[in-house]
Amino acid sequence: MKRKKQLLLMSLAALLVIGFGYGIYLIVPQLLAGDTQVTDLTLKSQVNDQTIQLTVSDQNQTDTKVVVPLTDKLSYTPTKQANAGVTYDEVNHQIVIDWLTNHPKMVNLTVKAAQAGTYVFKAQTTRNDTPVNTTPIAATIKPVENTSTSSVLSDNQTSLSEKIAVPGLQEPDTTSSQSLNTEQATPLQKRTTRDLPTHADTDIVTTADFDNQPWIIYTLNKEWNMDISNGKITFGMLKKVTMLDLWSGKNNSQTNNYATGYIPAGIKYLTNLKILGLGKSTKAEVSEDLNPEVHVANGYTRPGHISGSIPPEIGQLKELEIFSVGAENITGTIPAEINQLTKLKHIDINGYKKLSFNLNSISGLTNLTSLCLYNMKKTDGALSDIINLDKLKYIELRKDNIKGKIPSEIANIKFDYLNLTLNQLEGTLPESFNNLDSNASINLSENPDIYGVISEKVAGLNPTRSGETNLGYTQLTIKDPKKMNNSAIIPFTFMNGPSRSLLRSFAKENLDGSYANTSVTITDSSNTSKIQVFDSYGANITDPLNIGIGSGSIQKTSEGRYIKLSSGHTFQISDSKGNLIYDGPADPNLRLTPKSNETKYVILMDHTEPNPDIGITELDLNIKWIRPKTTEDLKSEDPNLGTDNHIKYVKQKPFEMISSVQNDDTFTISMDKTALTVKPAEKDKVDIDKTSFEIQKPNTTIWESVSSADISDIENGYQVKLNGLALKPKEKVKIRYSVTAKEALDDTGVLSSETSLMSGYKLPVASADMTIKNGQLLFKTVPTTMSFADSKIANLTTEIKRKLPDWKMQIEDSRVNKTDWHITANLISELQNSNGDSLGDSVVFKKTGQPNQVINTTSAVDVYDSKAGTTDYQDVQWGADAGPTLSVAPGLAKLGSYTGTMQWTLVDAPA
């Protein structure tokens, strides 16, 4: 009889949960849309003439969207919101509010009524698939009464024939004899040019003469003490008005709710107007020769209520000297009639991408001293349209989409400030530009298609206002940057700031090194590759030695525009001895072959002088061979033998090892004629089978045998040649071979592999530790807790299955000569609840075709038998209808959870 050996005892707790349950059924009435009103969603209204201001507040953190339905008699006026995205759903006639995350849930909405009446509003949302809404509120628009003194447009008035009826709310006290002024209800009718009546100085001014526009009525009253609604103001009195500034005094959007409407044609009646301000000035400060009465409201929030176009009647304001526009909803084109304002000195316009301007429309303004256009939707004409304005000293045309070349005549302008940033100017900078007045301040930045050579005198001009001469994000080169003596200049800010030169900003990202001292390191794995200096437009070049300067180089400006280096540049290349080896345009076929690691090339652009401190047009290539970024690994093919390069196995049993190299760099690594060395630290203890070497090339799962001609014997190991192999980024090559431990050992770094590149550099060594023992039979993994399913107390014998049917454990049998084995189970402690109640002999072992066997504390039950196999690891588990089960007799179980401890015994013998 074979001797039985108990190898390992493992314990686990089996949990049984038994409980009572009953059902509760509720009948909930169906909620219809709009039936539920909530208090944390509120709606308030305020009426101002024909306009209704709605304020929506939401205190519920889960709400993401709120809607406000409108009738077809109401129109929504879009305004910019800080806390939400607000849109108008034209199909369903409702305002849709999408709350922004981490912002207060409150918005102010502007709604305009087409006619008088009472309107009911409510805000709605959906919570838990149920619509909820605010308490409805009503807002009443009163009819506009006729003015007995009005002598203008009375024939365009119409009677109110339709009232807005709202169920459940009382209508206002209105009759058909009350009228509504359609000039106020439909302001778009005022957009067409028409002849306005001419008035004598003694004629009375009415609000209708200015189309009842609240911002004009308010300003005349507050700033000039002229209440034109009282029938006492004459047209002669209007001659006293010299300034109409939406932002002057108290008349700004922070304190004034009357800054709404449009610009009426009646603006022509302000015949002595010198200053017209329609919004915040775009200039940072006012020129010294401006009228000190001008109020430029720097820092105020830009107004959003003035809308529509600027009427051509502005051309009749013959005394106008200052014209400023900054309201974000003014649209259209500045009328050509502006050219009639011969006394105009200052134009200052922020177009908010909605206004257009034609430079030709001011070609006759000979008194113009400053022109500031910013963020225009479109700017027609060319710079040549304004260069003949002799008094023009301040030119600021920013973000205006001005196209074309800078005219050579621009040097004739005796300006103090020139700002042409963020346009689409292109071509060669005219040579005459280098004759500019030395007192000028220049900003040509963000015109990436301007190129040419700029003199150090102009590039280093002493700025008078801006504090810097800004040539950032252009392609301008400086003839001799060493002569520049102004530290305030911003020469070039491509990519990473002014310390990077224009030339180097166009070099591809595979260049590595310090850009502060203009030193560039080229990364490669070979000492025979050629350096490709230039690229061509549209070329798809993956050579790791491609620098990539030239007409095809693509870069990105701070505004996100992609541009290429102009083909008009020339390049000069010298070697480390100062010999000129190339002079010409970008040539995609030019190749440089470095002869040693100490090779250096100096590349200049446009025949400029080098300056290592500024490095504006210089690129130094210091050739240095460095190791590419890789990951080397050495591990067992079988993960059961260990992880983290630590092998646990048995002596005299072969196992497969895999050495691998992965390319972690951004370029292809040439592995041609590269060798992979594999060796044990102690060859007398570990043997590598020379005939077992196999290779798995990149992007394949197939193992190929390595030719014996490519395997060389070295001291304590072998060297495998990787002929004709290249690793692209993220690709990996693997070498597999068989290893046998001759004896038991426990040591570090027993196996190692190392890759040598063809340039002579060696990649880091990968090593593996080993723990080699005699073969053994043992539990490898056993669950610490095994649970049964929950059940209910019953009056019949109840079978309770395992919660997880498999209850899988794993056996390791690493013996060289394997024999049969089996597993037994018994209880160490019975299943009991917290009160000490026991389930008795309820734990049984089920086996198909055999009666159940009780598993208790007095006897062990055979639960698994295994025959000698060939694998080292075997899973032990049972089907859903077999294995350990609970069979609870009626009246035995009580309410509660039961736990107990089961012991498993692995026996090295047949059952």
Per-residue pLDDT for 556 more than 80?
A: no
Per-residue pLDDT, 66: 93
pLDDT for res 781: 87
Q: Per-residue pLDDT for 690 more than 80?
A: yes
Residues 6+ positions from 26 with CB-CB distance below 8 Å = none
Give the residue, 57 or 410, on which the prediction is more confident.
Answer: 57
pTM of structure: 0.47
Residue 668 to residue 764: CA distance in whole angstroms: 18
Report d(CA 355, CA 352) in Å as an integer: 7
Res. 778 pLDDT band, cuts 50 70 90: confident
Name the token pair of 783. 């669950």
Pairwise CA distance, residues 11 & 328, whole Å: 77
Highest mean pLDDT: which of 438-442, 601-605, 703-707, 804-808? 703-707
Share of the chain above pLDDT 90, in %: 18
What span, in angstroms and rounded, lies between the C-alpha atoms of 217 and 229?
8
CA dist 224 and 220 (Å) reads 5
Write out pLDDT tens, residues 95-143.
Answer: 999 988 888 899 999 998 888 888 888 999 998 888 999 988 888 888 7
Give phi and psi for 149, each to the nearest 5: -90, -5
Distance set, CA 696 to CA 676, 710, 712, 713 (Å): 13, 15, 19, 21
User: 1: pLDDT confidence band, cut at 50, 70 and 90?
Assistant: very low
Whether the pLDDT of residue 703 is over 90: the answer is: yes
Cα(795)–Cα(265) distance, integer angstroms: 96
Separation of alpha carbons 701 and 842, rounded Å: 52
Predicted confidence (pLDDT) at residue 877 exceeds the cutoff of 50 = yes
pLDDT tens track for 465-521: 444 577 777 888 877 666 655 544 554 444 334 445 677 777 765 455 444 444 555
Residue reference for tokens 């390319």: 663
Contact between residue 618 and residue 612 where contact means Cβ atoms under 8 Å apart = yes
| Chain-centre distance for alpha carbon 316 | 49
Which tokens belong to 416?
A: 């103090």
Where does the pLDDT of residue 612 fall: very low under 50, low under 70, confident under 90, or very high at 90 and above? low
Nearest C-alpha neighbor of 217 from the set 230, 199, 203, 198: 230
- φ and ψ at 733, to 5 degrees? -120, 140
Residue 701 confidence (pLDDT) above 90: yes
Is the pLDDT at 272 greater than 90? The verdict is: yes
Query: pLDDT tens, 163-190?
Result: 333 333 333 333 332 322 333 333 333 3
Identify the top-confidence range among 157-171, 416-430, 662-676. Answer: 416-430
Using CA atoms, how far apart are residues 294 and 275, in angstroms rounded to an integer? 8
